[in-house]
Structure 1
């Protein structure tokens, strides 16, 4: 680990952790949407839009903080990349929730719940990782575990798509495929975050 010569400001790491926490909350809301009657969807989707708006607010707050702070705990380009990936993951969760309502889907296959479980695990790990970016020696296990979960998500996605092709007609297949793509996109964003952390670990070692 490189010796840091200046005191570090923790505000940026707190903002990153809050961004990751929004993904945890949004995953819970999307799980509710998948299990709720259609009459509840409008309220829950509005909750999801609020999570997305809060994520965007935190993202821009971090950009402002980096511009105005003399000392940051990590290089600005790394903090910006982490914030951007977190915000993009949130946008995909928001899109998935909105599509469920727009397509008037009463339920999704079990594979959707599998993907949400993976996203939830990735997000919870990422919250802890963002809080501990000033102690990179403890983050290698996080990096490896999120990559493992991402591979599991890719396998689940392939099986989900194959099942849909076999079992569904074109119209329901297209609607479900859109949502499947949003969810696997979230797992890929979480993988990008972990890979960025891995890059930081290598650079700082």
Structure 2
């Protein structure tokens, strides 16, 4: 491993970024409650998303100004970008719920958001251990399992949305929301895959 004292800042930034992402997913989860004020939660989530952008910019600035990095610069860029992409999808999903005024969501949406919440927790727990990525095998295996579970949840949701229970306009709205949630789950798998690739390179 190629460490120097200043390298610790990268790990601290990734840890903060993952905690911020977890906060964003928690707000999304709160938005599923029947009495939730989604508009207010969307405003809060937008602030979390802006904080995520700041973390991304901080990481990129540090990469560009640091001679020795803890692992490949390309992987630092990729990991930072992947975390940012997930938070963008989480933010977009809630934004669509508000803009479309979707009202009550199919129960299966909660299953997808539960997967997101679990993946967010695992990612927040994993980032502090990024200093020894080879010890994170359980993390990327579990995130990949969650993504497979989410694929099944997504297909069941689509089947319900297109079952004839909803009018055509509602179908379009719900599908946009569900597609964005599924993209966020895929994004968590991308993050886990990048961590696995870092582990392989550093082993």
Q: TM-score range by the shorter chain?
A: over 0.9
Residue 99 in 1 paired to residue 96 in 2?
A: yes
What is the rounded CA distance, in whole Å, between the counterparts of 1:5 and 1:137 in structure 2?
Answer: 15
1:123 alignment partner in structure 2: 120
Residue 151 in 1 paired to residue 148 in 2?
A: yes
Unaligned runs of 5+ in 2: none
What is the rounded CA distance, in whole Å, between the counterparts of 1:5 and 1:80 in structure 2?
Answer: 18
1:31-70 equivalences under 5 Å are 31-37=29-35, 40-70=37-67
Residue 168 in 1 paired to residue 166 in 2?
A: yes
Q: CA RMSD in A?
A: 1.5
- Give the one of 24, 28, 31 matched to 2:26: 28
Unaligned runs of 5+ in 1: none
What is the rounded CA distance, in whole Å, between the counterparts of 2:25 and 2:114 in structure 1?
Answer: 8
- Give the one of 12, 15, 18 matched to 1:14: 12
**Post-superposition shift, 1:113?**
1.0
What is the rounded CA distance, in whole Å, between the counterparts of 1:12 and 1:25 in structure 2?
Answer: 20
**Post-superposition shift, 1:8?**
5.9
Q: Secondary structure at the match of 1:89?
A: helix
2:139 alignment partner in structure 1: 142
What is the TM-score of this pair, normalised by structure 1? 0.93
Q: How many residues align?
A: 202
Which 4+ runs in 1 deviate beyond 4 A? 5-8
- Give the one of 175, 178, 181 matched to 2:179: 181
Residue 82 in 1 paired to residue 83 in 2?
A: no
Q: Deviations over 1:49-90 (max 9, x none)?
A: 101100001100110111112222111111110110110111
Contact 2:111 2:153 in 1 (8 A): yes
What is the rounded CA distance, in whole Å, between the counterparts of 1:9 and 1:155 in structure 2?
Answer: 40
Q: Secondary structure at the match of 1:34?
A: coil
1:184-195 equivalences under 5 Å are 184-195=182-193
What is the rounded CA distance, in whole Å, between the counterparts of 2:190 and 2:68 in structure 1?
Answer: 25
What is the rounded CA distance, in whole Å, between the counterparts of 2:177 and 2:147 in structure 1?
Answer: 17
Contact 1:100 1:179 in 2 (8 A): yes
